[in-house]
């Protein structure tokens, strides 16, 4: 594993195996090294914030980034913010948005609005 991933593992205080798990998922999608590095970093942050397994966090971030055409940083920021701002967790927000993001995109609903809807419904 490259120096970048070793440093990320140390910075995030996770094992190299966990970092590799997320990175492999992104390489399988055909992303270039820069995209893999970015998604791995933000997926790792999301997995820690939401207390998710790295594979599950990678799937959730991938669904949101691909269906809504966003970068991983924005996705993780929205999930984290809404998890903190509502009675839900970042894990619940991410899972719900993973299920609804493709339909929301087709209906013209922005990622932020979808997140607000999900957070509001989940609070009730």
Question: Using 50, 70 and 90 to split pLDDT, how confident is the model at 73?
Answer: very high
**How do residues 22-32 score in pLDDT, each as one tens digit?**
788 788 889 99
Q: Return d(Cα 8, Cα 11) in angstroms, integer.
A: 5
The pLDDT of residue 102: 80
- Alpha helices by DSSP H, listed for 29-71, are 33-50, 54-68
Q: Return d(Cα 10, Cα 17) in angstroms, integer.
A: 12
Q: Return d(Cα 72, Cα 52) in angstroms, integer.
A: 16
C-alpha distance from residue 4 to each of 19, 54, 68 (Å): 11, 18, 27
The pLDDT of residue 100: 86
Q: Return d(Cα 37, Cα 40) in angstroms, integer.
A: 5
pTM over 0.85: no
The pLDDT of residue 8: 64
| Percentage with pLDDT > 70 across the chain | 90
**How do residues 24-53 score in pLDDT, each as one tens digit?**
878 888 999 889 889 988 988 888 888 888
Question: Using 50, 70 and 90 to split pLDDT, how confident is the model at 12?
Answer: low
Mean pLDDT of 77-87: 85
């Amino acid at each position: 594993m490259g120096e970048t991933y070793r440093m990320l593992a140390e910075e995030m205080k996770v094992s190299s195996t966990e970092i590799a798990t997320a990175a492999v998922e992104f390489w399988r999608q055909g992303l270039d090294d820069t995209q893999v590095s970015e998604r791995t970093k933000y997926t790792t942050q999301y997995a820690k914030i939401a207390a998710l397994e790295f594979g599950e966090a990678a799937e959730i971030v991938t669904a949101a980034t691909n269906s809504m055409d966003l970068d991983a940083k924005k996705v993780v920021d929205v999930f984290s913010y809404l998890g903190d701002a509502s009675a839900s967790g970042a894990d619940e927000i991410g899972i719900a948005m993973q299920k609804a993001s493709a339909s929301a995109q087709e209906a013209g609903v922005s990622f932020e609005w979808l997140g607000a809807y999900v957070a509001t419904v989940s609070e009730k």
